[in-house]
Amino acid sequence: MTLVPEAYVVPLTLFSPLVFGVLAWLFDRDWVRETLGVIGAAVPLTVLSLAYEKASSGTISYTIDTGVFKLHFVLNSLSWYFAFIGALVGIAMAFGLSSTSRRGYDWLFSLMSFTGVMGVFLARDFVSLFLFWELMTFGSFMMVLRRNRHESLKYFVLSVIGAYSMLLAIGMVYAKTGTLDYAMASQTLLLLTKMGGVSKAYVDTIFALFLLAFGVKAGVVPLHVWAPGAYGENDQSYTSFFSGVLSKAGVYGFIITLFVMPSLYGIYFAMGTFHGHLTGTYLIAWAGAVTVVVASFLAVLQEDIRKLLAYSSVGQVGYIILALGVFNGVAVGGAMFHVLSHAMFKGLFWLISAALILRTGKTRFEDFGGLAEKMPVTFAMALIAVLSLAGIPPMAGFASKWLIYEGAIQAHMPLVAGTIFLGSALAFAYVVRFLYAVWFGQRPSDLDDVREAPLPLLVGMTVLAIPNIVFGIAPGLAVRLINRFFNTNITVNSYYSISTPTGTYNALSVTLVLIVGLAIAGLVYIYGANARKIKVTNTYQSGNPVTEEYNLVIRRNFYRPLAEALDFWLKYSWDRFYERLANLSEDFADWLREGFYNGNVQSYSWYLAIILLILAIWGVL
């Protein structure tokens, strides 16, 4: 703490990315730009690490007085947890960008969104939240705008709808309570609901508007349509941050509505119950569950590596939303844990896809193959990411998913728990494809001179790979952090072992068993098995004749039978629905303009007459 005085902790965390981003944009030279950018991303991480003691035992507040509003920021154990995850992915992104981007523009806007996210995590009042929320959206939007106008507009329109819902909700809160501070507003609101000062519908509207606002950013189905385009049509290094952290800002918003404003808690009770579950949160749980299922199915069917990862990201954030909606200690603890693990493994995934695109220039599975030999380190990283995402111990992804599952079972939500299971199976299906199609099998001849990913990218990947393993083997570390700000009901027996009321997970013993098992299998493979070496081209079809039209290889149309089975459902697409809606409103705009501003002065005079008539009628009555 002595290194960074307390008063500087929050401003340094908030503003150093933005300031260095602007500097990187101004001094747009090789090396200078990259150095500045990496420093800008490193400062928050350093400052937050140094402030750990203070933030976990107390709070660090910081206020900016703009005169119009007071902006209030607090670093406590909750905001530290989120901010630290953000900063960790942020530094990895900065290393990635050093390799993949040669533009000051990218640095400026990616670091701008970095500042935005930090502000969202640290804000303690609605105006700061909204301000930084918009900053974050704007930065990320500009990253997409440069690359694809259509996708960026889709992203922006949905984000703006979200932002304005939030603004409306904030206005509604302020109008009744006269304060913008989370805690004060929520207390006053609770008091007012009890005294009957605000109607139930009013509170429900606030609730719904907040959920809409945060749901867009978190990518909850059906508000997810921006995600595949915006994540895909972007610098992939930036996407690691975009998908890893910005989506968590949406999750954080859910946490604010559910827990930081505890009075809404009382409001959920006011909303009543449904089959023994609180209606408000039960809805959230199902929104998450639908997201998991829909996004995972869509991820399985993708032929483009970026689209696959994007849908998978939507699905994984769905788990977090689902867990928050389950609304008991274990599940929420799992959700918080999954925030960490998803940021780590999905950040890692995107950096890997950045490396692949940088080195090969290809994005579709059919163009890849056999890269494990060419990019061994990246392959090792990919293996970690895949294991973590698929929820295989001893990776972080397993521990968090296990907690969510336990939570859902405890809350007596078997159907919801079922969707977790289904989602896991689907996740396994798509990562297997990623693993096999990209890294194994036949290598297309044009990939023969592919080199290993550049050093900065590898550094970035390592930064994200280590937590995947560390928190996987020692889930107690993460749970201990989470227990500081939320009573999760999960006991930490040791670093390696955690217990919920219904079960215990000892990561170390699982790891040991796994290692022993692998060793035995390896020995059997080397000495005992009747193995023969065959060429990769020597495939077999289980008696099925292969035709060109129906040629399913892992690199192309592998899950086509699934697509055919889902034919009925795939006819309905949210993307098309939104496109149609957009077209409709454009047509409406034309109709309105041509109808109203029709250029005919006579009809204009009629408008005057109508208003006069309204006034006259009122005058008479």
User: Which residues here bind other proteins, judged by CB under 8 A?
Assistant: 65-68, 127, 130-132, 134-135, 138, 145-146, 149, 152-153, 156-157, 160-161, 164, 167-168, 170-172, 174-175, 205, 585-586, 588-590, 592-593, 596-597, 599, 601, 603-605, 607-608, 610-612, 614-615, 618-619
Nearest distance in Å: CB 322, other proteins: 29
Q: Which is nearer to other proteins, 186 or 312 (CB)?
A: 186
Q: Which is nearer to other proteins, 175 or 523 (CB)?
A: 175
Burial class (CB in 10 A: 0-12, 13-18, 19+), 402: buried
**Tokens matching residue 489:** 């009901």
Nearest distance in Å: CB 156, other proteins: 6
Q: Which is nearer to other proteins, 526 or 620 (CB)?
A: 620
Selection from 203, 180, 201 nearest residue 191 by Cα: 203
Q: Residue 223 and residue 87: Cα distance in Å, rounded?
A: 26
Q: Residue 168 and residue 540: Cα distance in Å, rounded?
A: 61
Nearest distance in Å: CB 598, other proteins: 8
Query: Is there a contact between 165 and 133 (Cβ–Cβ < 8 Å)?
Result: no
Q: Which is nearer to other proteins, 523 or 610 (CB)?
A: 610
Please report the sign of the dihedral spanned by the C-alpha atoms of residue 103, residue 104, residue 106, residue 110. positive
Query: DSSP state, 3?
Result: S
Nearest distance in Å: CB 586, other proteins: 6
Distances (CA, A) of 583 to 163, 228, 579: 22, 20, 6
Q: Which is nearer to other proteins, 531 or 601 (CB)?
A: 601
Q: Which is nearer to other proteins, 66 or 551 (CB)?
A: 66
Q: Which is nearer to other proteins, 135 or 426 (CB)?
A: 135
Tokens 């890893």 correspond to 244
Distances (CA, A) of 185 to 112, 174, 182, 226: 29, 8, 5, 32
Q: Which is nearer to other proteins, 172 or 371 (CB)?
A: 172
Tokens 């994540």 correspond to 231
Distances (CA, A) of 346 to 97, 103, 352, 389, 415: 16, 24, 10, 8, 26
Q: Which is nearer to other proteins, 65 or 448 (CB)?
A: 65
Nearest distance in Å: CB 67, other proteins: 2
Provide CB contacts within 8 A for 501, sequence distance 6+.
Answer: 330, 410, 489
Q: Which is nearer to other proteins, 34 or 134 (CB)?
A: 134
Query: Is there a contact between 465 and 397 (Cβ–Cβ < 8 Å)?
Result: no
Selection from 484, 487, 485, 499 nearest residue 403 by Cα: 499
Query: Residue 401 region, left (φ>0) first, then alpha (ψ -120 to 50), else beta?
Result: alpha
**Tokens matching residue 454:** 């550049």
Selection from 298, 430, 303, 297 nearest residue 362 by Cα: 303
Q: Which is nearer to other proteins, 7 or 616 (CB)?
A: 616
Q: Residue 255 and residue 151: Cα distance in Å, rounded?
A: 28
Q: Residue 119 and residue 136: Cα distance in Å, rounded?
A: 9
DSSP per-residue string spanning 126-144: HHHHHHHHHHHHHHHHHHH
How do the residues of the chain divide into helix, strand and coil, expressed in percent and rounded to 5? 75, 5, 20
Q: Which is nearer to other proteins, 198 or 459 (CB)?
A: 198
Query: Residue 592 region, left (φ>0) first, then alpha (ψ -120 to 50), else beta?
Result: alpha
Q: Which is nearer to other proteins, 53 or 65 (CB)?
A: 65
Nearest distance in Å: CB 599, other proteins: 7
- For the chain, the first-to-last Cα distance in angstroms comes to 73
Q: Which is nearer to other proteins, 65 or 567 (CB)?
A: 65
Query: DSSP state, 61?
Result: E
Nearest distance in Å: CB 396, other proteins: 34
DSSP per-residue string spanning 475-522: HHHHHHHHHHHS----EEEETTEEEETTEEEEHHHHHHHHHHHHHHHH
Query: DSSP state, 531?
Result: -
Q: Which is nearer to other proteins, 116 or 393 (CB)?
A: 116
Nearest distance in Å: CB 167, other proteins: 6
